Amino acid sequence: MMTNILRPVVEPGIYFDMDEASYHAAEGLSCSGIKHLTVSKLNYWHKNLNPDREPEDDTGARRFGKAVHSRALEPERFDRNFVMKLFPEDYPGALVTADDMKAFLEANGLPKSAKKKSDLVDRIVASGLPAVIWEMELERHAAEHVGKTFLGTEESKKIAAAAAVMAEDPYAKAALSGGMPEVSFFVRDPETGVMLKARMDYVRPRSTVDIKTFSNSRGKPVEKAIYEAIFYEGYHLQCVFYNQVRELARRQLAAGEIRTDGDVSETWLKEFTETEGHGFVLIFIESSAPFDLRMVLMKEAEAAGADLNVYWSSAHMRIYDMKILYAGCLEKYGDKPWRDQTLPHQLEDTDLPMLMFS
């Protein structure tokens, strides 16, 4: 049997204080992993197990979404992880260019000739004259905020505006109360024995809340843009996967098979453990003005005893298939690339999108 030794194994449990980097590094099949595996086995290996894989760029929409999450759910963590960039216009009179420095030296009766800009900086510092040197301000700012993500002015304004809309919306405000942010779940799947993992935005004793940012550059009706995002981004898959992982964890915690780690109240845990059914809520917040907000509730069926919603049953089947495939790949390939030789395929009409025939 081949095994995966590239990622650290975390003991099954519910972790309330685990940092994001530790969660992502740990062994386990996540919802994003299921999406990678749906593309191909090799795609999963490349993005999750390849020792030479590049880290995901924390820029653009991904960074904005993370910042909005943090600002809305954990303002203290936001301040620990994000900080504003400095801009020269924030420091009137700052000496930015070499010409600025030469003019300053000349105005104060000091030599202004120098081979390098750094010589000018050293001369100004040595003079003891009061001056704001831009390069030194940048260095000081960087040293004070090592490890943080630096945000631009406009980006920061948008993040604050989106978080403020969520804080003012009565339904979103209610959904984001009484819960625990950024909770990491690790549970063994009883069917396959593989580790399943999920990091949930906000976990209440009776529901799970996930925040999504969205853009609507094509000017579609907002509801249509959101529903299409649910389909194309696989948020219905995430809903069902989180539901399964959370319920497994609840049962295993109640049976004493797993533990919790981190600061959480006994009252919260008791209600969580005793709640057999729980809801799933998506909060969508637009990533630019006017920062439209919508909330979508997702559940198995429209009513008790009714057939499962198609999106739910479809996601359930895919999760099951990918768990089986994942377990088989771990057994067959282990750490080696999950690559098979495939036979050439004869193209048929049914292989092509229906647009071909319109």
Q: Please report which helix (H) or strand (E) contains residue 237, including its range.
A: helix 235-254
- pTM of the complete model: 0.85
| Average pLDDT estimate for 92-100 | 93
Please give the pLDDT value at position 105.
94
Q: Looking at 13-27, 70-84, 255-269, which range is the least confident one?
A: 70-84
Residue 173 has pLDDT above 90, yes or no: yes
Residue 1 has pLDDT above 60, yes or no: no
Inter-residue contact 285 to 64 (CB < 8 Å): no
Please give the pLDDT value at position 62.
82
Inter-residue contact 27 to 195 (CB < 8 Å): yes
Domain 13-56+169-332's class?
A: alpha beta
Q: pLDDT tens digits, residue range 23-63?
A: 999 999 999 999 999 999 999 999 999 988 887 766 678 88
Segments making up each domain of the chain, as ranges:
13-56+169-332, 83-149
**How far does Cα 29 stand from its chain's mean position?**
16
Residue 82 has pLDDT above 60, yes or no: yes
Could you count the other beta carbons within 10 Å of the beta carbon of residue 303?
Answer: 7
Q: pLDDT tens digits, residue range 295-340?
A: 999 998 888 888 899 999 999 999 999 999 999 999 999 889 999 9
Angstrom distance (rounded) from CA 225 to CA 219: 8
Angstrom distance (rounded) from CA 157 to CA 163: 10
Average pLDDT, the chain: 92
CA 185-210-227 angle, 5° bins: 130
